[in-house]
Structure 1
């Protein structure tokens, strides 16, 4: 059931465009912007500012409340509280339900009592704490790696590591759906960047073969579990490509750790691949591990080099001790309670299969933690999200330009804490909201 009736009719679409054009040109009594584009010290002329204004105007014209930046009034797990009302929640990365677990909270509180809240300096200078080394050792063990290094931000980890390891004489071949942090790191590096169609290892092979000869170093860059589509790469195929072309293989595990594999160790466990086949394991602490930050695991020579030279590590304050302690305790619980992973995977598979049975377009989701419901228009996705919010279900729309307009969607994040009845309720509500909708006419 792709598209539904939440899109604009042709008449309504024309009316909306005309209305927005009038607002853009200052009609309908619209006030002049506070900062004119001609102001050399203003910000109104920044790229995308006019687009933002048009998007806001479109939402107002369609009577849509902004679905973003809603404050949650407590722990956002399988359920949450927003604006004094309880919601069934599918918009958090709390995959194993460890954010809010008393053991994780106690570990963070103990670290505060012992070390304070902040590391107060770069780790190289005086911000090193024993809990950092303990977390890094545990993460390295997960990947069978020689060493690991933790950073204060997942996004900054990709930016600083990719930007630092590669240079203008190098090559980066990457999945077209790679995360923004990887794309920004690639851009910072100055290396030649070549994208291949999403999850297409054959295309990756062709692109690497065509471009590798003239490059000094090469990096093949993929994710372990893609956050927009919920699908998984054929890791063995990509590892073989990297070996054939003497390239580093880097895998972003942000949504993989605690999600993929029988015990949640990640995409290598899911695919049955020796983790040493991957040169650079990257991940984040903010999903399964209930903290904030990023990490790189791999050979000791790589980690030592980054530890002494990566700008995002050397010149940044160290990871806050309570965050490191929370992540370390979450990792210990993951190891001790693999049944959480099984519940998560069963919940996501159930959601995906029920949605397909009701005619919803879930794309290529592997049914591990992330299940999109593709609507086919940004207006339709925004209105469907609003309709579900009114029914007590919190799920965010993903709109153009984050995805192509024809791929606009809702993105459901499942948790080990969701119950079967809650999953069935969400699927039925989504299918019903689409079925009940008709062509949208512009109000006014």
Structure 2
């Protein structure tokens, strides 16, 4: 990486000294403000904001997009190539999806206006759940109003203090929060290492009432996938349930986008609990659980995040249902997505960029190795017409700070080649003219 994007040890020390002086000049905050400033992480956030300002870095987060965020988007009244959205198959904005959402609003209004258990149930909710269950070939499914809340409420409710949860160290925050809420014993194993998972299970299973293994079908930070057959065998061997979070897998992994089970040729019924979100390929908002009918019935009548939450907006349920139908009817979208991601990965590797363990299916990181460097690179690319978000410490270790590229079926060859050339040119080791041909 070129020295222009990082900070030397001397520069870091000088920056910290300047920030420390500013804090002294500000003096202590009064009353309630002082109390809020003591909230966990608040001082760190303030230090990061001040450091960014001192370095002339804009906040890369919360930038408003002024239209549909697909392969391109409008930021600051300017069209840019977009790698910051989960619109993997370009279905958010598809006229058929919009028409389905509008029809649901015409019929039911904007909100379900109540918990589904009491007065918030609408026909489209059941239709969506039946379609999700059919997708996996399992008995039933349940849709929640939030993807994050799906994992929190299901894990927190399903498992208890006498139970064991063994999970991938790279599991999503929602799974980690749900596991913590459950009170179960929690053990993380090294990312994507099924052997490490087996060692942990073998050591801890005997003392637990129930055991659950939690993995993702497509990891959002690294873009890699697990060895699903190994985890299925592991669950059976140790009398554990297996839960797979397919938030970034549905519509992305497998020849026709069915998911990680299609990729490995595993029967979907061999996974006990399928979790997914509606906000990515399915262009809605919310989450789902699919699996055994007894499990789903129990969740519908007892999961706090379902029973005590308003029902999903009918328009969002209808949009996700229509998106699922299009996914099944038009597998060529998946083929385009995977071809685009494979091209991006191949060009990035050829340019000497560090793409980690990405499988090149939709998510390709470019590891920069410095949070300051990643933020500067993201800003430089945006100025050049490319939107890609940096992932910074503490979300990842500073040495793993990166740009994370989300590919879409709607990106074209020229956009991808120009993007990789721009990234390579910005961080050194570039051969832009060669990459762009």
Q: With structure 2 as the length reference, what TM-score do the two structures score?
A: 0.97
**Does residue 1:172 correspond to 2:172, yes or no?**
no
The structure 1 segments of at least 4 consecutive aligned residues displaced by more than 4 Å after TM superposition are 2-5, 34-37
- The corresponding residue for 2:340 is 347
Distance 2:266 2:74 in 1: 41
Deviations 1:48-99 (A, max 9, x none): 1100100001101100000100000000000000111110000000000000
Deviations 1:258-285 (A, max 9, x none): 0001111111001111111100000000
Distance 1:195 1:269 in 2: 26
Distance 1:436 1:13 in 2: 25
Among 185, 201, 213, the alignment partner of 2:178 is 185
Between the two proteins, the alignment pairs up a number of residues equal to: 430
- The corresponding residue for 1:440 is none
Matches within 5 A, 1:115-194: 115-194=108-187
Larger helix share, 1 or 2: 2
Distance 2:393 2:201 in 1: 29
- The corresponding residue for 1:13 is 12
Q: How far off is 1:23 after superposition?
A: 2.6
SS of equivalent to 1:43: helix
CA RMSD of aligned residues (A): 1.3
Q: How far off is 1:18 after superposition?
A: 1.4
Asked whether the 8 Å contact 1:201–1:237 carries over to 2, the reply is yes
Deviations 1:108-151 (A, max 9, x none): 00000011111111111011111011100110011111000000
Asked whether the 8 Å contact 2:171–2:215 carries over to 1, the reply is yes
**Does residue 1:33 correspond to 2:32, yes or no?**
no
Distance 2:354 2:300 in 1: 44
Structure with more relative contact order (C-alpha pairs < 8 Å, separation 6 or more): 1
Among 206, 209, 215, the alignment partner of 2:202 is 209
- The corresponding residue for 1:292 is 285
Matches within 5 A, 1:383-398: 383-398=376-391
Distance 2:186 2:27 in 1: 43
Asked whether the 8 Å contact 1:36–1:45 carries over to 2, the reply is no
Q: Which runs of 5+ in 2 are unaligned?
A: 431-437
Distance 2:223 2:406 in 1: 9
Asked whether the 8 Å contact 2:2–2:428 carries over to 1, the reply is no
Matches within 5 A, 1:24-423: 24=23, 26-27=24-25, 30=26, 32-33=28-29, 42-423=35-416
Q: How far off is 1:34 after superposition?
A: 5.4
Q: How far off is 1:229 after superposition?
A: 0.0
Q: How far off is 1:43 after superposition?
A: 1.4
Q: How far off is 1:22 after superposition?
A: 2.0
SS of equivalent to 1:329: helix
Q: Which runs of 5+ in 1 are unaligned?
A: 438-444
